[in-house]
């Protein structure tokens, strides 16, 4: 604080004494005066020195930072990679030879798959068929658009693991083929993580094309193996978790969103076990989704009610038609009454406003009056008169009272999360099986997609090097001139790059612009 005040007095005095007096004052205070040009030069030299020190620090720790890209490379894992590359040489030879065959097949298969996807996308654009998008094998993923923000952790973790396994395949195969391994690293491009290996390029160039193929195909081969392993874990998960969770008894509620129509005092709660939807039994999450799909596609089911009870519960109300042609007969805006339609021997278009829960509870489902003719008691089949896409669904989740849902079945599907695994003990988490299931599904999807995309004969991807080595191994005797072989490879790469770019551009447009 004293220094600041002292310097302030210096500046005030300098305004009176002028430039020479200010320089003399600084000198007398033990401070040296410097010409502005010399000071600027010293500042530049200091900044350059600081920049050089910063770059040396980054180089020391294997870090590289540039706009939208940051990567880290290290030699800490080199010994481990060499141990893997020298483990059981005959097995590794067979392993990567199978991977070579798979990689070549994947190169051709990826072109066919991208071509089919492109045709489906163009067809959807011309016909504007929204259902076509769900049938495509490959889709562009945009976080926050067609990827929920809540799933980003799974997404980025699966990408990173798939990338690491991919590069481990390249590194181990390279060591197996006597190519020098310089290091392993990971990177972040914008927000997307990935991995890479640093190989000695000269060694890659002197080995045979078949050896190169084993190295270049190892990445997509390992991604395929990772996808198969994840699929196996997903399939065997009930057996793996059997000591802690049991399945086949229903669908366990794990989350109900705040805006869900199933939210409420008589709705669904976390920990409830759903056993049926209408007359459709539910033993797992797959059954839940299947039942909701059937309910949305089929017409509304009816309920058997005694004729005398019908007369007792119904009350006179005004009948009017909605814009979609359906009939509404409950005009009191009640949350408990629903308009039902029915027919008798005289008239087939009768309507009654009835309390929904009293009609549905302990009632048999029906389609016609014939389904209700039992015990010689006159009964009628009453069907909720609702809008075209709206359904009345009875959800059983004992020991609680049945939930009556009125709305589109898909709203129930999108706002309620479930699990097929029921904990055997109270201290076990109901979310753990869901986390494992979801992560396995992301690994299957993203690792498979990484294998397909990298196998495409496209510039800057593994497919470029796979294609070049494949042409060298197969066309050397047919096309003697190396320049001609390179020209053939260049044209194929150009077509493959255009095919991939068209799929990405149109897929991105379909996701964001429509």
d(CA 167, CA 498): 25
Which pair of tokens denotes residue 471?
């042409």
Are 268 and 397 in contact by the 8 Å Cβ rule? The answer is yes
Are 327 and 385 in contact by the 8 Å Cβ rule? The answer is yes
> Residue 214: which residues within 8 A CB-CB, separation 6 or more?
96, 97, 99, 100, 173, 176, 177
Q: How many residues does the chain have?
A: 514
Are 353 and 336 in contact by the 8 Å Cβ rule? The answer is no
Return the DSSP state at 400: S
Is 55 among the residues known to form the active site? Answer: no
Q: In what order do the strands lie in the sheet with 403-407?
A: 280-281, 276-277, 391-396, 403-407
Per annotation, catalytic residue among 45, 128, 167, 286:
167
d(CA 398, CA 277): 12
Strand-pairing partners, residue 246, are 422
d(CA 407, CA 354): 18
Place of tokens 């009556």: 404
> Residue 481: which residues within 8 A CB-CB, separation 6 or more?
none
Angle at 28 between CA 26 and CA 30, to 5 degrees: 75
Catalytic residue list: 167
């Amino acid at each position: 604080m004293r220094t600041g005040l002292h310097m302030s007095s210096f500046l005030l005095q300098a305004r009176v004494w002028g430039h020479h007096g200010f320089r003399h004052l600084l000198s007398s205070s033990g401070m040296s005066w410097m010409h502005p040009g010399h000071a600027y030069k010293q500042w530049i030299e200091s900044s350059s020195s600081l920049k050089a020190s910063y770059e040396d620090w980054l180089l020391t720790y294997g870090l590289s930072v540039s706009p939208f890209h940051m990567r880290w490379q290290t030699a800490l894992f080199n010994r481990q990679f060499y141990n893997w590359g020298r483990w059981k040489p005959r097995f590794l030879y067979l392993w990567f030879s199978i991977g070579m065959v798979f990689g070549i097949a994947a190169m051709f298969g990826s072109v066919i798959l991208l071509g089919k996807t492109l045709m489906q996308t163009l067809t959807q654009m011309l016909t504007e068929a929204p259902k076509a998008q769900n049938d495509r094998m490959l889709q562009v993923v945009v976080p926050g658009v067609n990827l929920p923000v809540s799933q980003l952790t799974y997404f980025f973790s699966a990408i990173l693991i798939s990338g690491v396994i991919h590069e481990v395949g390249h590194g181990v195969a390279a060591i197996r083929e006597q190519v020098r391994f310089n290091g392993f690293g990971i990177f972040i491009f914008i927000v997307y993580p990935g991995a890479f290996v640093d190989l000695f390029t000269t060694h890659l160039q002197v080995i045979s094309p078949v050896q190169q193929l084993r190295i270049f195909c190892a990445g997509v081969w390992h991604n395929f193996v990772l996808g198969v392993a994840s699929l196996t874990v997903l399939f065997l998960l009930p057996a793996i978790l059997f000591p802690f969770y049991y399945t086949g008894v229903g669908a366990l509620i794990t989350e109900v969103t705040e805006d869900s129509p199933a939210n409420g005092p008589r709705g669904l709660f976390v920990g409830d076990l759903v056993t049926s939807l209408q007359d459709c039994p539910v033993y797992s999450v797959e059954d839940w989704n299947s039942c909701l799909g059937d309910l949305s596609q089929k017409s509304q089911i009816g309920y058997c009610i005694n004729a005398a009870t019908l007369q007792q519960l119904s009350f006179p109300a005004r009948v009017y038609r909605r814009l979609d042609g359906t009939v509404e007969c409950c005009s009191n805006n009640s949350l408990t009454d629903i308009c039902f339609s029915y027919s008798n021997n005289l008239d087939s278009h009768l309507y009654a406003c009835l309390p929904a829960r009293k009609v549905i509870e302990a009632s048999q489902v029906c389609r016609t009056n014939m389904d209700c003719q039992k015990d010689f008691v006159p009964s009628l089949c009453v069907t909720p008169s609702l809008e075209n896409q709206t359904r009345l669904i009875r959800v059983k989740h004992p020991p609680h009272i049945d939930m009556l849902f009125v709305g589109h079945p898909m709203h129930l599907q999108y706002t309620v999360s479930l699990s097929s695994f029921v904990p055997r003990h109270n201290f076990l988490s109901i979310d753990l099986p869901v986390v494992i299931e979801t992560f396995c599904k992301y690994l299957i999807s993203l690792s498979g997609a990484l294998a397909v995309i990298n196998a495409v004969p496209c510039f800057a991807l593994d497919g470029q090097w796979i294609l070049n080595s494949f042409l060298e191994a197969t066309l050397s005797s047919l096309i003697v001139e190396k320049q001609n072989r390179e020209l053939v490879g260049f044209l194929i790469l150009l077509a493959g790059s255009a095919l991939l770019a068209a799929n990405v551009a149109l897929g991105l447009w379909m996701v964001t612009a429509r």
